[in-house]
Amino acid sequence: MVKEGYKKTKYGLIPDSWDFLQLKDIAKVNMGSSPPSSTYNEDGDGLPFFQGNAEFGSLYPEENQWCIDPQKVADKDNILISVRAPVGDINIAPYRCCIGRGLAAIEGEETSNKFIYYYLKQFNPKLQSYSQGSTFSSINKKVLETFFVNYPPLPEQKKIASILSSVDKSIEKTDEVIEETKELKKGLMQELLTKGIGHSEFKDTILGKIPAKWDIKKLRDICNKVTDGTHDTPKEVNDGYPFITAKNITNGKLDFEDCGYVSEKDHKKIISRSKPEKGDILFTHIGTIGQTVEVNVDFEFSIKNVALFKPNNELIKSKYFKYSLQSNIVQGFIKRILQGGVQQYLGLTTLRGFNIPVPPLEEQKKIASILSSVDAKLKKEEEYKAKLERLKKGLMQKLLTGEIRVNTEMEV
């Protein structure tokens, strides 16, 4: 039974007052065409030239070629869609530009371009399902023109687009804060982990210039244990102990969402060699080298092909130790060790011989506290961005199908 006030279409239910039209009925589709390569330049002559494919999305003239003899042109605010692998990537032209054969431009006729943009974003998987080609996927003009669109009255289109645009702007602003915070952290790490706090005297060491009151110590001398996880591949189970590999350690975070699980028997065998505990440091030492994270969970888990450091807290604090391993001074030392090697691998003997800059304990605490506060801000902003993205996903699903109706008189 169809819900009152709604009608059924091939894409689902939409309000009775909406139309269900093909794209050609509401917009013009302009397929791109690549001009002769002799007309390309990097001097800013002509129009910015976008070809699609891997280049699509970099809508900034300084990052692209220019064309003095464009075959096909998209106007400012046209929707640009990639029609060759990858099919379906979508953007909005920020200015008049030349489009190659990897792109198509869509211009609404008495229609909100932004509404069509969000609609194509939402139904992108359906559009991709129409792609064809044995060598690489592509869609042609007919596929685009005959693609069906839920079509509300224009005032409703504009209001839907306005709501989604406001969420996008919030996401963009949050992205800017995240990038600024990352830059702040980068600068603070460079300053604090090489110059410390309040020092005026420095000395030359194997790691470069450091404060005179700091020491250089081997990793084996500041850790109670340096080991690594299993090198075997235990059988995965549906319900058991989390099983962490290098892929679960990125950007200073330990990710349990995408990890496997092992049986209690295999887990006990693995932790007899290497049992991660709160305050320990995990360090990737095979393949991707140098990703570092502090263990901050109380439950047990197993590790594979990941080094485990158990710091001596009377000599080095876990949080400072983590940041020290992430610092340019130590990462540069790692690169020098690996230079010229065929395989990216650091054995336990090499790891135990690592040189680490070690300030007095009180200074370690201060450095770790400053950097931890920046990390806390970064985490807060990233969580807020994730929340906004979930909000946008839900709104797109409900607004673009008419499940939730908008008040066209309401300001956003």
- What is residue 383's predicted lDDT score, i.e. its pLDDT? 96
Homologous superfamily of the 6-151 domain (CATH): DNA methylase specificity domains (3.90.220.20)
- Report, in angstroms and rounded to the nearest whole number, the Rg of the chain calculated over CA atoms: 28
Show the low-confidence residues of the chain (pLDDT under 50).
54, 57, 61
Homologous superfamily of the 215-358 domain (CATH): DNA methylase specificity domains (3.90.220.20)
- What is residue 336's predicted lDDT score, i.e. its pLDDT? 85
Q: Using CA atoms, how far apart are residues 323 and 388, in angstroms rounded to an integer?
A: 30
- What is residue 410's predicted lDDT score, i.e. its pLDDT? 62
Torsion of CA 343, 344, 350, 355, to 10 degrees: 140
408 φ/ψ angles, rounded to the nearest 5 degrees: -70, -15
Question: How many residues are given for the chain?
Answer: 412
- What is residue 54's predicted lDDT score, i.e. its pLDDT? 45
Residue 159 · residue 410 · CB < 8 Å: yes
pTM of structure: 0.85
- What is residue 155's predicted lDDT score, i.e. its pLDDT? 94
pLDDT tens readout for residues 190-220 = 999 999 999 999 999 988 999 999 999 999 9
Q: Do domains 6-151 and 215-358 have the same CATH topology?
A: yes
Q: Using CA atoms, how far apart are residues 21 and 158, in angstroms rounded to an integer?
A: 17
In DSSP terms, which residues pair with 210 in a beta bridge? 203
- What is residue 225's predicted lDDT score, i.e. its pLDDT? 96
| Among candidate residues 350, 354, 353, the one with its CA nearest the CA of residue 325 | 354
3-state secondary structure labels for all residues of 85-122: CCCCCEEECCCCEEECCCEEEEEECCCCHHHHHHHHHH
Q: Using CA atoms, how far apart are residues 345 and 214, in angstroms rounded to an integer?
A: 29
- What is residue 55's predicted lDDT score, i.e. its pLDDT? 52
Residue 90 · residue 80 · CB < 8 Å: yes
Q: Where are the domains of the chain?
A: 6-151, 215-358
Residue 310 · residue 276 · CB < 8 Å: no
Residue 33 · residue 104 · CB < 8 Å: no
pLDDT tens readout for residues 15-52 = 999 999 999 999 999 999 988 888 888 888 889 888 87
- What is residue 345's predicted lDDT score, i.e. its pLDDT? 86
- What is residue 263's predicted lDDT score, i.e. its pLDDT? 96
Q: Using CA atoms, how far apart are residues 150 and 403, in angstroms rounded to an integer?
A: 12
Plot region of 251 (φ>0 → left; ψ -120 to 50 → alpha; else → beta): left
3-state secondary structure labels for all residues of the chain: CCCCCEEEECCEEEECCCEEEEHHHHEEEEECCCCCHHHEECCCCCEEEECCHHHCCCCCHHHCEEECCCCCEECCCCEEEECECCCCCEEECCCCEEECCCEEEEEECCCCHHHHHHHHHHCHHHHHCCCECCCCCECCHHHHHCCEEEECCHHHHHHHHHHHHHHHHHHHHHHHHHHHHHHHHHHHHHHHHHHCCCCCCEEEECCEEEECCCEEEEHHHHEEEEEECECCCCCEEEEEEEEECHHHEECCEECCCCCEEECHHHHHHHHCCCCCCCCCEEEECECCCCCEEECCCCCCCEEECEEEEEECCCCCCHHHHHHHHHCHHHHHHHHHHHCCCCCCECCHHHHHCCEEEECCHHHHHHHHHHHHHHHHHHHHHHHHHHHHHHHHHHHHHHHCCCCCCCCCCCCC
| Among candidate residues 174, 159, 218, the one with its CA nearest the CA of residue 358 | 218
